[in-house]
Amino acid sequence: MPATPLGTLQPRSQVIDRAWRALGPGLEPLSGPGGAPLTRAVKLLVLPLVLRPVLRPELAGDLLTDEAADLAAGLLRGDGPRLAAAAGWFTLLKRVRRALRVVGGNPQDLYFQRCYELAAEHGAPRPPDAEEVARKVVLELAARDGGRTVEALKAHLRDPATERSVAQALSRAWGARPVPAAPGAVPEADALSLADTVLDGCAPADRGASGKRGAPGGAFPADGHVPRYREQECGTDLRDPGDTAESALAALVGGGHGTRLGSALWAAGPASAWGPEGVPPHLGLSADPPPPRPGVGSTASTATLPAPLDRTLYERVFTVLRAPGHHDLPPVPELVAAETARSCSPLGLSDESLRVALLVGGRLAAGLDPLGTAPGPTRAHRAIDRRWRRESSVARARRMTVSPFDAPSAHGTGGGAPGAGPPDGGAPGTGPAPTQPPAPTGPPASGEDLLTDLGRSLRTPWIAYTRRLWARLHGRDAHAAGIDGTAELWSLLDGVSYSVLMDHRARVRAALRTLTDTTSGSAA
């Protein structure tokens, strides 16, 4: 580990793991078979409720100093009794859930944080009052869903009459979609010029905007507001890039450029104007362009979801019902009707500001270059590239590109956007550029193969980034939440980049663990 003035740096995950195991028995419901905390226990309990890195910035990074590691271990040790009580409540809530035959939602997502609240209020569950408290909690959370569950979706579409009606509605909506008479460049040159203006004005200024290491979006206020930086502060002219970006974004939305892009993809035009050579017009959002007409469908799995524009109606509704905040959605019949129209809309989105966000995000993804050293074309590219190039995993991938078995592709900026596993459950590698070799169809055979695949993914800018971006835009569309201004757009684009980076980092760690286990096994 690298040394700091305060000593060595320790992975936060290891610090949490050691401190968790030291708490002793009683945490089994929140732990995996080996005794380590469940991933959701860390995400929903340890980080937000025990360590609270928002209030303790020294605990926010993936690497902790010795002093910060001692603080984290002490916080977990002090909260041990409450965590054990929360584990007891979780066991009780699951038992009551089964007795009440409640099946909607993931129990860990639904109950972990509520169990912590119950532990803080009541301590460990004690009969007979605990049974009644648990029953009220289970029924309250079940009523909160209001039938907005995957099980309700299955029941709704299982009815033959309903399925026929939905299939007919899909057919009508698909026949009414706007398809241009002739294919053309996708997207248009003027749309890309406006997108570049947006990307240059919505991101932080190059000088002093990189922020703290690993922090999303640089040094931004906690409320997510993005300050405007005048060009004179960067030593250029007196124009305010924020105002110019707002005007460009308004022009994109007002001109219907998102709709025009989505409609052009249906025309299956071979031309692409995204920038780097080999970037497909559909940016990997469809495996077999033009995107096919969506079917009704009857099953879905997060592990086997196809590319976004290739999904059935069932798969599209399935993803929004599995996302946080689904209890705010309309009832399932209304949701299915809305999704029927949305699935046949340009880019699979009904709001024009969200279509434009996908256009701008695609332009961003096509120009990212985490493996390179040259500055990107816009502030947004440079801000995200800086964060990626600081990653040790990216540096290793850059070294791996000289290997004869994984030579880099030679196109455009030479770049690739952050690569990661399926950002929204889709299969990795679906929809690669025609000039690139097909992605592996099976799991890598070793840690070295995993690292090689990760290095390759850093050179495919349109896959991981645009899929995750589409998934978030789809969720906003389902909640009728458009994009209001460049500050909100940048928060979204930068957040997607940071999320993909975290996934990439996790995959690198998994690959290194595989390498370590293989080496240890060989030595034994």
- For residue 126, the number of C-alpha atoms closer than 13 Å in the C-beta half-sphere is 4
Looking at residue 398, its pLDDT comes to: 57
pLDDT at 423: 41
The reported pLDDT for the residue numbered 223 is 34
What is the reported pLDDT for 229? 31
State the greatest distance between any 2 C-alpha atoms of the chain, in Å, as a whole number.
Answer: 72
What whole-number percentage of the chain has pLDDT above 70?
Answer: 75
pLDDT for 240 equals 58
pLDDT digits (tens, 9 = 90+) for 397-413: 555 544 433 433 333 33
Q: Which residues pair with 302 in a beta bridge?
A: none
For the chain, list residues with pLDDT below 50. Answer: 1-6, 208-239, 401-445
Which letter, b or e, does each residue of 122-158 get, where b requires 16 or more Cβ atoms within 10 Å of its Cβ? eebbeeeebeebbbebbeebbeebbbbbbebbeebbe
Q: What is the pLDDT of residue 207?
A: 52
CA distance 88 to 167: 47
Kindly list the domain boundaries of the chain, sorted by start residue: 3-78, 82-145, 150-176+294-343, 189-288+348-514
Task: Fill in the amino acid letter for 284.
Answer: G
What is the pLDDT at residue 120?
95
Q: Output the pLDDT for position 235.
A: 33
pLDDT, tens only, 146-185: 678 888 899 899 999 999 999 999 999 999 998 887 777 7
| Per-residue pLDDT at 411 | 33
Residues 147, 148, 149, 152: is their CA dihedral positive or negative? positive
Q: Mean pLDDT of all residues in the chain?
A: 79
Measure CA 28 to chain center: 29
* Cβ atoms 408, 457 nearer than 8 A: no
Instruction: Give pLDDT, residue 89.
Output: 97
Distance of CA 490 to the CA centre of its chain: 15
- Residue 103's φ and ψ, nearest 5 degrees, are -125, -10
DSSP 44: I
3-state DSSP of 176-237:
CCCCCCCCCCCCCHHHHHHHHHHHHHHCCCCCCCCCCCCCCCCCCCCCCCCCCCCHHHHCCC
Looking at residue 109, its pLDDT comes to 86
CA distances from 31 to 34, 40, 84, 371, 417 (A): 8, 10, 11, 37, 35
What CA–CA distances, in Å, run from 473 to 92, 356, 358, 477? 37, 10, 8, 6
